[in-house]
Amino acid sequence: MRRSEFRKTLLLIKHAFRIEKIRYLVWVAGIFSLMLVATHVNGQFTAEEMKEIVILSTGEPGMRMLVSPITEEGVSEISRFVFFRFSFIFSILFAIMSVQIVTRLTRLEEDASRAELVATSGAGRYARLSSALIVAFTVNLVAAFGMMLGLVINGLEFSGSLVAGLSYAGLGIVVAAFSALAAELSGNASSATGFSAITFGAFFVLNALANVTGNVHEDALGFESSFLAWFTPMGWTQEVYPFDDRNLWIFAFFLAAFVLVSLGAFYFVDKRDVGRGVLADRQGREHAPVWMRRPLGLVWRLQRGAFLAWVIPVAFLGIAFGAATEDLGVNFEDHEYFGEAFAEAAREMPFILTAVTAMVVSFYARVALLKMRKEEASGPLENVLSTPLPRLRWMAGHVLVGMAGSVILVLTYAFTQALVIIESPADIGEHLLGGLVQAGPVFLIAGLIIALFGLVPRRAGAVTIALILFFILAGSFFGPILDLPNAVKNLSPFTHADFLPENASIAKIITLYILGGLFAAIGFLAFKRRNLSF
Amino acid sequence: MNVIEIRDLQKCYGKAQALKGLDLTVKKGEVLGLIGPNGAGKTTTVRILLGLLKKSSGTAKVFGKDAWDEAVEIHKRLSYVPDDVRLWPKLTGGEVIDFLASLRGGINEERRARYIERFEFDPSKRCQSYSKGNRQKLALIAALSADVDLIVFDEPTGGLDPLMSKVFQQCVAELKDEGKTVLMSSHILADVEKLCDRVAIISHGRIVETGTLDEMRHMKRNVVTVRTVRPLEKLHELEGVHNVQKNGEEVSFQADNEQIDAIMRFLTDHGIRSIVSAPPTLEDLFMRHYEEGYKKEEVTRHETE
Ligand SMILES: Nc1ncnc2c1ncn2[C@@H]1O[C@H](COP(=O)(O)OP(=O)(O)OP(=O)(O)O)[C@@H](O)[C@H]1O
Ligand SMILES: [Mg+2]
């Protein structure tokens, strides 16, 4: 690794901040505001209420996947309590932010062949990667300060708040290094993002297992995670205990992982040419197989990678979570005070997890359906639509894969989860029904994405991501945690799909599906009538 | 019969008007070259003809059918090579050719193989690894292998090397022999000169000149080179005189045909020693329109400032 290969790194850093500053500001402001609001809202609970909530979720292995360990002394303190509930969300936010920063600054630029320009303008071979890593590091630090500010404004202690913020930035930089590695290994931005998502998924699953197999304190007053937490940076974050032990030495883990994985990424820079990945590029077919010559066949060829990248982890998570929630409540049946509450909560748990999965699947709907926009703006759509293929038939293929694929993903989760849980095969119907209920909101969101693609193609990308994030935060799972007013919660389709199928209103669910279909129809009409926009 | 018929075509992108009343016809069996400066409206015109963009007003017909309403019918009989060929990065070149051909109603294996060979194209590579020229070749092969009546090329030779440009020229010549109609936009004058029966010059969203090359050559201006006894000091002030250049004793300039009589009289007054007058080269002709195009652009820019 020669020094001269880092030439112009500073220039690229400045360039990155110039063109991406709005994006970074939105991330930092978003993290700050969420921390501010979450701490404020949860601060309204009395100590006794906090304790009850902790006991309820700690007692259920399944629920422990989504919360963080908490000390016995901390259970009724807002400083610990807010992280007990929000650790999961903040980990995801820092991870997505880091993946996005690095991927945009490395692969996306290359795909757009801007990188070649930079390479010929005298920048060193490593400049692109080192600038992306430094930018990601910096933005994570700033986001950590934003988080700290959100806590301090709510009256929390300064140094604990700072350490808390930094512990998530630590996770962020490790994820950033892994995305850098993914970007170097894979051929383009979308598979780089896919690799990064799978890496983070693995971090999450390990962490979930660490919490599930952890050690529950007496009377379910919080828990500690098992040794598995040391194998995942998400676990490191949760082991810092910023308001208790304050294990500052864990930051050495974050930094070491960041440096080592980054070195790996730099190693692969030398192994490949600009614009190519290490893994890509073997000789391919000279002829298209017959199935691929049909419009739907080609759509499947273009979409199957994303679909498989989703369906396999989703099926796996279903089994994992099913196994984790299987014996739920059994341990607590005799508990004189909570016994009944646990039995009920235990039955509801798998359906809640299906709902959370459905929320995540709306991101798949977005990826699959906005493929159309990609084909239009930077793909060969111009060429395709100058053949006798009618516009709407082209669109129908992508819509089919996007809409049906989303429903299938939710059902897959419900199905594999059910396989582990159910006692008799007859019960499987109930779980599939729960899946269909939760797929309703996703179907509606898919319809909205199609409508936006037809009506405002250039804005569709940004608008859909904002909508989905809002729907998820205002929906049935996070809406109540955030204590949002009903008027806001009702705006989210997820609010209208109750967790338990027997509680869900059939009329409401059918309405969700019909609205999804109507929005899709609007999208078709609009696309038929509009200019292609490049 | 007119294969392409455009009348008073207008197109606005928001407030900006890209086409301001464009008229153009292409007859059956004709090869028409569409040339003009960057941003003149060539790509816009072509995309409207293909039903990819919607016109703001006017008529645009292909094979007598409305380009927007009956796009699918029209597309059965044409193929198109876009300006900027973009492909699916993970698919191979061969797969893309087959897919496009199937959409056009089936693959003619014999033609496909022939054109792949002529353009020395490797169809087994993934599209992400093709250079600009190779992407263009792929689009050309896909378009040429189809059995259609009209082929539309938007700057087809921009990325081709001289050898491949030559292959392309031969292909177009063959299309012409087969009686097919070709619309081709290009900046490469040599291609236009060799291939096109007729040329239309487009500038600022209007066709400013159209005709066969011969017709155009004899229109308007001659290039005059002259030696006179007395120095031609006030020549550039004369109406109809452009581009005066002194080369020692020799003076050369362009002369508008309408003013040629007055100009000759002025020259005779200065005592002509020798004189050569020639029709302008193609380049002179095109350059004039290009320069005027840019000048007008400057004027409008000043106006809007
Ligand atoms: N999507 C768009 N939005 C706004 N303006 C556009 C758009 N596309 C083209 N224009 C404008 O319309 C005018 C005509 O553009 P067009 O692409 O048709 O030119 P062209 O003759 O093909 O140029 P070139 O030789 O560079 O290919 C230009 O001034 C251009 O800036
Ligand atoms: Mg153009």
Minimal Cβ distance to A302: which of B47, B72, B88: B88
Q: Are residues A309 and A260 in the same domain?
A: no
The pLDDT mean for chain A works out to 87
Under 8 Å between Cβ of A284 and B92: yes
Q: Using alpha carbons only, what angle is made at residue A286 by residues A284 and A292, rounded to the nearest 5 degrees?
A: 90
Q: Are residues A212 and A308 in the same domain?
A: no
Decide: B42 in ligand 1 pocket, CB within 6 A: yes
Minimal Cβ distance to A531: which of B54, B82, B85: B54
Q: Are residues A184 and A79 in the same domain?
A: yes
Among A residues 237-276, those touching chain B with beta carbons less than 8 Å apart: 275-276
- Residue B281 is given by DSSP the state P
Decide: B229 in ligand 1 pocket, CB within 6 A: no
pLDDT the model gives residue A110: 57
Q: Flag whether residue A425 sits within 8 Å of chain B, measured between CB atoms.
A: no
Does some domain include residue A10? yes
Computed from CA positions of residues B164, B166, B169, B174, in that sequence, does the dihedral angle turn out positive or negative?
negative
Measure B30 CA to nearest chain A CA, in Å: 21
Decide: B18 in ligand 1 pocket, CB within 6 A: yes
How many domains, chain A?
2
Which of B13, B79, B85, B95 has the most A C-beta neighbours within 10 Å, making it the best mutation to test the interface with A?
B95
Query: φ, ψ for residue B11 (rounded to 5)?
Result: -145, 125
Under 8 Å between Cβ of A441 and A512: yes
Does some domain include residue A321? yes
Give the chain B residue whose CA is nearest to the CA of A385. B52
Those residues with Cβ within 8 angstroms of residue A14's Cβ, 6 or more apart along the chain or in another chain: none
Q: Are residues A262 and A328 in the same domain?
A: no
Subunit contact B124:A285, Cβ cutoff 8 A: yes
Query: Given A275, A308, A327, which residue is the final one in a domain?
Result: A275
Chain A contact set for B80 (CB, 8 A): 383, 386
Distance CA B89, CA A281 (A): 10
Query: Given A213, A247, A275, which residue is the final one in a domain?
Result: A275
Copy the structure tokens of residue B48: 């409207």
Cβ pairs A/B, distance under 8 A: 108
Q: Are residues A97 and A220 in the same domain?
A: yes
Distance CA B226, CA B250 (A): 6
Q: Which residues of chain B have pLDDT under 70?
A: 217-220, 282, 292-305
pLDDT the model gives residue A171: 97
Strand-strand pairing, B206-212 and B272-278? unpaired
Nearest CA to ligand 1 atom 29: B39
Nearest atom, ligand 1, residue A533 CA: 1
Measure A106 CA to nearest chain B CA, in Å: 16
Q: Flag whether residue A281 sits within 8 Å of chain B, measured between CB atoms.
A: yes
* Region of residue A122 (phi > 0: left; psi between -120 and 50: alpha; otherwise: beta): left
Which of B80, B87, B100 has the most A C-beta neighbours within 10 Å, making it the best mutation to test the interface with A?
B100
Q: List residues in chain B touching A: CB distance below 8 A.
A: 47, 50-54, 72-73, 75-76, 78-80, 82, 85-92, 94-96, 98-100, 102-105, 123-126, 128-129, 139, 142
- Cβ neighbours of B117 (radius 10 Å): 10
Query: φ, ψ for residue B240 (rounded to 5)?
Result: 85, 10
Q: Are residues A338 and A208 in the same domain?
A: no
Under 8 Å between Cβ of A524 and A387: no
Q: Flag whether residue A382 sits within 8 Å of chain B, measured between CB atoms.
A: yes
Distance CA A344, CA A326 (A): 14
Q: Flag whether residue A283 sits within 8 Å of chain B, measured between CB atoms.
A: yes
Per-residue pLDDT of chain A (534 residues; tens, 9 = 90+): 567 778 788 888 888 898 888 889 999 999 999 899 889 988 888 888 888 888 888 877 767 877 899 998 888 899 999 999 889 889 988 998 999 899 888 866 655 555 555 656 677 778 888 999 999 999 999 999 999 999 999 999 999 999 999 999 999 999 999 999 988 887 666 667 777 877 888 898 889 889 888 888 888 888 999 998 999 999 999 999 999 989 999 999 999 999 999 999 998 887 766 555 555 555 788 888 888 899 999 999 999 988 988 888 888 888 877 776 665 545 555 555 555 656 666 778 889 889 999 999 999 999 999 999 999 998 999 999 999 999 999 999 999 999 999 999 999 999 999 988 887 777 889 999 999 999 999 999 999 999 999 999 999 988 998 899 899 989 988 888 777 889 999 999 999 999 999 888 899 999 999 999 999 999 999 999 999 988
pLDDT the model gives residue A460: 93
Measure A291 CA to nearest chain B CA, in Å: 10
- CA–centroid distance, B182 to ligand 1, in Å, is 22
pLDDT the model gives residue B305: 43
Those residues with Cβ within 8 angstroms of residue A16's Cβ, 6 or more apart along the chain or in another chain: A105, A131, A132, A135
Distance CA B286, CA B213 (A): 11
Strand-strand pairing, B241-247 and B250-256? antiparallel
Nearest CA to ligand 1 atom 31: B39
Measure B239 CA to nearest chain A CA, in Å: 46
pLDDT the model gives residue A199: 85
Subunit contact A288:B105, Cβ cutoff 8 A: no
Nearest atom, ligand 1, residue A534 CA: 1
Those residues with Cβ within 8 angstroms of residue B244's Cβ, 6 or more apart along the chain or in another chain: B235, B236, B251, B252, B253
Give me the residues near ligand 2 (ion), CB cutoff below 5 Å: B 42-43, 83
Q: Which of B5, B2, B7 is nearest to B206 (CA)?
A: B7
One-letter amino acid of A191? S
Chain A contact set for B142 (CB, 8 A): 383
Nearest CA to ligand 1 atom 25: B38
Q: Are residues A129 and A79 in the same domain?
A: yes
Minimal Cβ distance to B75: which of A280, A305, A387: A387
Measure A384 CA to nearest chain B CA, in Å: 7
Does some domain include residue A281? no
One-letter amino acid of A236? W
Does some domain include residue A282? no
Nearest CA to ligand 1 atom 18: B41
Give the chain B residue whose CA is nearest to the CA of A188. B89
In this structure, which ligand is nearest to the CA of B37? 1
Domain carrying residue A459: 294-534
Distance CA A85, CA A273 (A): 45
Computed from CA positions of residues A433, A437, A438, A443, in that sequence, does the dihedral angle turn out positive or negative?
positive
Does some domain include residue A280? no
Question: Ligand 1 test: best mutation among B22, B34, B43, most atoms within 8 Å of CB?
Answer: B43
- CA–centroid distance, B283 to ligand 2, in Å, is 20
Distance CA A137, CA A121 (A): 25
Does some domain include residue A288? no
Subunit contact B99:A288, Cβ cutoff 8 A: yes
Nearest CA to ligand 1 atom 19: B39
Report helix, strand and coil shares of chain B as percent, to nearest 5. Answer: 40, 30, 30
Strand-strand pairing, B16-27 and B31-35? unpaired
Burial of A416 (0-12, 13-18, 19+ CB in 10 A): buried
Those residues with Cβ within 8 angstroms of residue A125's Cβ, 6 or more apart along the chain or in another chain: A5, A119, A269, A270
One-letter amino acid of A175? V
Minimal Cβ distance to B53: which of A283, A285, A532: A532
- Cβ neighbours of A23 (radius 10 Å): 15
Decide: B16 in ligand 1 pocket, CB within 6 A: yes
Q: Are residues A375 and A449 in the same domain?
A: yes
Copy the structure tokens of residue B62: 């292909």
Decide: B44 in ligand 1 pocket, CB within 6 A: yes
In this structure, which ligand is nearest to the CA of B36? 1
Nearest CA to ligand 1 atom 6: B13
Query: Given A275, A308, A328, which residue is the final one in a domain?
Result: A275
Distance CA A29, CA A12 (A): 24
Query: Which residue do the tokens 């070259």 mark?
Result: B33
Q: Flag whether residue A395 sits within 8 Å of chain B, measured between CB atoms.
A: no
Q: Can you spell out the DSSP letters for A462-488?
A: HHHHHHHHHHHHHSTTHHHHHT--HHH
Under 8 Å between Cβ of A417 and A336: no
Chain A contact set for B125 (CB, 8 A): 283-284
Q: Are residues A31 and A62 in the same domain?
A: yes
Subunit contact A284:B75, Cβ cutoff 8 A: no
Q: Are residues A258 and A308 in the same domain?
A: no
Chain B contact set for A378 (CB, 8 A): 86
What is the distance, to the nearest Å, from the Cα of residue A310 to the centroid of all Cα atoms in its chain?
Answer: 12
Does some domain include residue A286? no
Query: Which residue do the tokens 């996947």 mark?
Result: A65
Subunit contact B52:A276, Cβ cutoff 8 A: no
Burial of A334 (0-12, 13-18, 19+ CB in 10 A): exposed
Decide: B38 in ligand 1 pocket, CB within 6 A: yes
Give the chain B residue whose CA is nearest to the CA of A527. B52
pLDDT digits (tens, 9 = 90+) for A237-292: 999 999 998 999 999 999 999 999 999 999 888 776 655 555 555 578 888 888 88
Under 8 Å between Cβ of A269 and A126: yes
- Cβ neighbours of A221 (radius 10 Å): 18
Distance CA A288, CA B98 (A): 6
In this structure, which ligand is nearest to the CA of B39? 1
Copy the structure tokens of residue B210: 């159209």
Q: Which of B153, B132, B133, B158 is nearest to B143 (CA)?
A: B153
Q: Are residues A311 and A380 in the same domain?
A: yes
Q: Are residues A152 and A186 in the same domain?
A: yes
Q: Flag whether residue A7 sits within 8 Å of chain B, measured between CB atoms.
A: no
Beta strand residue intervals within B65-197, DSSP E: 65-66, 78-81, 150-154, 181-185
Distance CA A470, CA A487 (A): 13
Does some domain include residue A284? no
Burial of B100 (0-12, 13-18, 19+ CB in 10 A): buried
Those residues with Cβ within 8 angstroms of residue A330's Cβ, 6 or more apart along the chain or in another chain: A346
- CA–centroid distance, A404 to ligand 2, in Å, is 39
Distance CA A262, CA A228 (A): 24
